[in-house]
Amino acid sequence: MAQNPFFDFDFSKIISEYKLPGVDVEALVSAQRRNIEAITAANQLAFEGLQAVGRRQAEILRQTLEEAAAVLRDSVAQGSPEEKIGKQTELAKQAFEKALANMKELADLLTKSNQEAAAVISARVTASIDEVKGLLANIKK
């Protein structure tokens, strides 16, 4: 696999060649590095959230298939048509309620994951704004 030339790219060296008076090049590069770290952390949280949702969806599917097999076994059991209709109606109601609960659970998992990732980015944006203010204050001096 070829080495990515951007991994070895030294931004501080390039920026320092411009000789901008009063600009702390290391602080700028460090701030950008922290921005990239925050994006990486947010992406990791989002990915872990999606993995959790995927695992839960697989578990829900497994449970649903097991329950469907049980319903099929019960539907061929002895009993009057009225009893079977009553039982099927109750099973349909339970299945609908469980599907709603599962959808809510998955939505909650996604919401939590998104909030965690957004919190990382939000905190970094706030810190970045403060850093820029500090850099600008130093330039004015």
Q: What is the pTM of this model?
A: 0.70
Take residue 25 and report the two structure tokens written for it.
Answer: 């090049």
Calculate the CA dihedral of residues 92, 97, 99, 105 and round it to 10 degrees: -170
pLDDT tens across 11-41, in order?
666 666 666 666 677 888 888 899 999 999 9
- Look up tokens 């309620």; give the residue: 97
| Proportion of the chain above pLDDT 70, given as a percent | 82
pLDDT at 6 over 60: no
13 Ramachandran zone, left/alpha/beta (phi>0; psi -120 to 50): alpha
